[in-house]
């Protein structure tokens, strides 16, 4: 995997770089890698001496992402590795179940030890409600107002100028993001 490690308000020392690559590198045994597989690690420290680490692993058919906010950079890396391993396990189980039900072999190449693949019934993905609505053409400001009025953390709308479907969402930092669907 290709590593891109970036620091904000922190110098990435060789020790931190080596620790992050070693811990995240352990996940390679679970993943189907190719020459385009990338790992983006963003480390940030704050004035209150806390650290935030974000890791994104870009694979051919899968993007894994985790972030952790703690008082220790090394602890954050450990916690993120655990989160990513759970994501891989959940994805592998979901893919294997889908392929097993269709009668084909699983195509996901991650091989986890069978003892760690114990998925509980609580992990079942279940759609509990379906909604249908017509997309009203509007600008982004109106979409944000609609989202806030409804008390939701995202809102799907049609752009008033281009008539393309877009999604506005509220970020963890309280600001807004926009997803443009092509």
Amino acid 174: pLDDT? 85
Question: What's the mean pLDDT in 13-19?
Answer: 93
Residue 117 has pLDDT above 70, yes or no: no
Residues 41-60: tens digit of each pLDDT: 999 988 888 889 999 888 77
Count of other CB atoms within 10 angstroms of residue 157: 21
Whichever domain contains 175, its CATH number is: 3.30.505.50
Domain assignment of residue 102, yes or no: yes
Range of the domain at 150: 137-180
Q: Is 30 exposed, middle or buried (0-12, 13-18, 19+ CB in 10 A)?
A: buried
> Global pTM?
0.57
Tokens representing residue 24 in the block: 């995240």
Q: Are residues 95 and 147 in the same domain?
A: no
Amino acid 80: pLDDT? 92
Domain assignment of residue 20, yes or no: yes
Is the separation of the CB atoms in 51 and 65 below 8 Å? no
């Amino acid at each position: 995997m290709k590593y891109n490690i970036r620091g904000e308000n922190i110098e990435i020392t060789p020790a931190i770089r080596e620790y992050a690559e070693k811990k995240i590198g352990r996940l390679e045994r679970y993943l189907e890698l190719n020459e385009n597989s990338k790992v983006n690690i963003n480390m940030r420290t704050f004035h209150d001496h806390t650290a935030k680490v974000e890791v994104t692993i870009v694979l051919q058919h899968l993007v894994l992402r985790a972030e952790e906010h703690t008082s220790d950079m090394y602890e954050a890396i450990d916690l993120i590795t655990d989160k990513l391993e759970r994501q891989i396990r959940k994805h592998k189980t979901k893919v294997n179940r889908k392929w097993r039900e269709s009668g084909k072999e699983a195509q996901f190449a991650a091989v986890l030890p069978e003892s760690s693949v114990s998925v509980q019934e609580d992990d079942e993905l279940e759609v509990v409600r379906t909604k249908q609505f017509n997309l009203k053409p509007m600008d982004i400001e109106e979409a944000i107002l609609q989202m806030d009025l409804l008390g939701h953390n995202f809102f799907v709308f049609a752009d008033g100028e281009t008539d393309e479907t877009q999604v506005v969402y509220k970020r963890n930092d309280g600001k807004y993001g926009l997803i443009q669907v092509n």
